[in-house]
Chains A and B, each alone.
Chain A
Amino acid sequence: MTANDNSNPLALAQCRRWGPPHLIPGEDSAAYDELFARVAAAVTPADTIEEILLSNFVDLEWEILRWRRLKASHMTAIAYKGLDKILRSLSVDGVGKLVKGWVARKPSAVKRADRILKAAGLNMDAVMAETLCESLEEIKCIEAMIALTEARRNATLREIERHRATLACALQRALPQLEDAEYQAIDVAEAKSAA
């Protein structure tokens, strides 16, 4: 199901009811709507409390995906710092120019950087490890955000489970009454005359 085909208008309406999603520049609101619609279609909230919990769950899941994406793209964006540090430690000439070319993905620069790394018995893993050291503080913060948001999302899941269990217990208790209501006491004489 996609957000554009409006195949689940109820889910999308719920999405709108809790206010606009908390997006940051570069994020796609249609992707958020799609996530919401998919979760809503899978869960089918039975009451307002479940709708609130569902909205909470989707917000947290969206945030987790954002922080995970950020971790990967941040590492890629600053990989040049790791490369720069390694090349400087190897006393390579013209490091600044080489790194600039590598960032711009110039084939000659990429090839030269690979050759230098290979000659030193290193590869991109070493560059990424150096990058991680360079950005340890930021990565630590992103990891903390992911862990915190995952804990909140799991707490929301547990709450949905508990709330649904209560509802299920109530329905189970109500079942004999509901089944009794199906039967109607009829007057035997009346039934005979009708027959």
Chain B
Amino acid sequence: VTSARKITASRTNARASTGPKTAPGRARAARNAFRHGLSLPVQSDPALSQEVEALARKIAGTDADADIQHLACRVAEAAVDLRRVRHARHRHLLEALSDPYYESRDATRKKVTLMCAILRRDGYRTPELESYLTATPQGPEKLALILSQEAKKLSAFDRYEQRAWCQFKLAVQSIDDRQPRIVVKFDYISQVA
């Protein structure tokens, strides 16, 4: 159990802490723990919310009842979420691909060791050594390296994608369970007309 003295000291220290004071600084610090924002619901983003609404209207049609509208909204939300996850994963891959200094951790370690040795020997270097130190993987080798090194992050994206896909599938199944009556009604009316 934390003692009262310790709690008081923590509170005093917290008050004296030198965190950001200005509004932009606080806003920036508030995003320190932000990574990709995929754990946030789609509806928390105003732009995506509008997209969800437009898509839901398209799925449900014009004269749908409240229940179908609600189910269509769930389908739209999951579809937009699925695309958002894919987009985030793709952006992550592109960022790594556009980094001109992207290198494997193992090769970086070897190069640093070599550079330290060169510096200790009064800057002894050859063109071959220089080209080895400055060369980075390119083309398919680079992409394969990114896949291998970023496997942990990519698997996190996959978990989000799997979640979004499951939600989408369940939402589509729910709307399909209700939809037949709508289809029958619509087709019947159009045929009579």
Q: Which chain B residues lie closer than 8 Å to A181 at the CB level?
A: 188, 191-192
- Indicate if the CB atoms of B86 and A59 lie closer than 8 Å: yes
B9 at the interface (CB under 8 A from A): no
Complex partner residue of A174 from B58, B90, B165, B183, CB under 8 angstroms: B183
B105 to chain A, nearest CB (A): 12
B130 at the interface (CB under 8 A from A): no
- Indicate if the CB atoms of B75 and A49 lie closer than 8 Å: yes
B143 at the interface (CB under 8 A from A): yes
Complex partner residue of A22 from B87, B168, B169, B192, CB under 8 angstroms: B87
In Å, the complex CA distance between A78 and B93 comes to 21
- Indicate if the CB atoms of B147 and A142 lie closer than 8 Å: yes
- Indicate if the CB atoms of B175 and A25 lie closer than 8 Å: no
Q: Which chain B residues lie closer than 8 Å to A142 at the CB level?
A: 144, 147
Main secondary structure of the interface of B (DSSP, over half): helix
Q: Which of A154-192 contact B (CB under 8 A)?
A: 155, 159, 162-163, 166-167, 169-171, 173-174, 177-178, 181-182
- Indicate if the CB atoms of B172 and A169 lie closer than 8 Å: no
Q: Which chain A residues lie closer than 8 Å to B94 at the CB level?
A: 24
Q: Which chain B residues lie closer than 8 Å to A137 at the CB level?
A: 148
In Å, the complex CA distance between A141 and B104 comes to 14
Assuming the A-B contacts A24-B143, A138-B144, are A178 and B187 also in contact, with contact meaning beta carbons closer than 8 angstroms in the complex? Answer: yes
A73 at the interface (CB under 8 A from B): yes
- Indicate if the CB atoms of B180 and A178 lie closer than 8 Å: no
Chain B positions 151 through 169: 1 when the CB is less than 8 Å from some CB of chain A, otherwise 0: 1001000100100010011
A60 to chain B, nearest CB (A): 9
Complex partner residue of A178 from B165, B179, B188, CB under 8 angstroms: B188
In Å, the complex CA distance between A108 and B144 comes to 31
Q: Which chain A residues lie closer than 8 Å to B173 at the CB level?
A: 162
- Indicate if the CB atoms of A155 and B165 lie closer than 8 Å: yes
Q: Which of A53-79 contact B (CB under 8 A)?
A: 56, 59, 70, 73-74, 76-78
B115 at the interface (CB under 8 A from A): no
B127 at the interface (CB under 8 A from A): no
Q: Which chain B residues lie closer than 8 Å to A159 at the CB level?
A: 169, 172
Chain A residues at the B interface, C-beta cutoff of 8 Å: 18-19, 22, 24-25, 47-49, 52, 56, 59, 70, 73-74, 76-78, 135, 137-142, 144-145, 148, 152, 155, 159, 162-163, 166-167, 169-171, 173-174, 177-178, 181-182
Chain B residues at the A interface, C-beta cutoff of 8 Å: 55, 58-59, 75, 79, 82-83, 86-87, 90, 93-94, 97-98, 139-141, 143-145, 147-148, 151, 154, 158, 161, 165, 168-169, 172-173, 175-176, 179-180, 183-184, 187-188, 191-192
Beyond known contacts A141-B144, A177-B188: 6 more, CB 8 A cutoff: A24-B97, A70-B140, A162-B173, A166-B176, A167-B179, A171-B183
**25 contacting pairs across A/B (C-beta < 8 A):** A24-B94, A24-B97, A24-B143, A47-B59, A48-B58, A49-B75, A49-B175, A52-B75, A59-B86, A74-B140, A74-B141, A137-B148, A138-B148, A139-B144, A141-B151, A142-B144, A144-B151, A145-B147, A148-B158, A155-B165, A162-B176, A167-B176, A167-B183, A173-B180, A174-B187
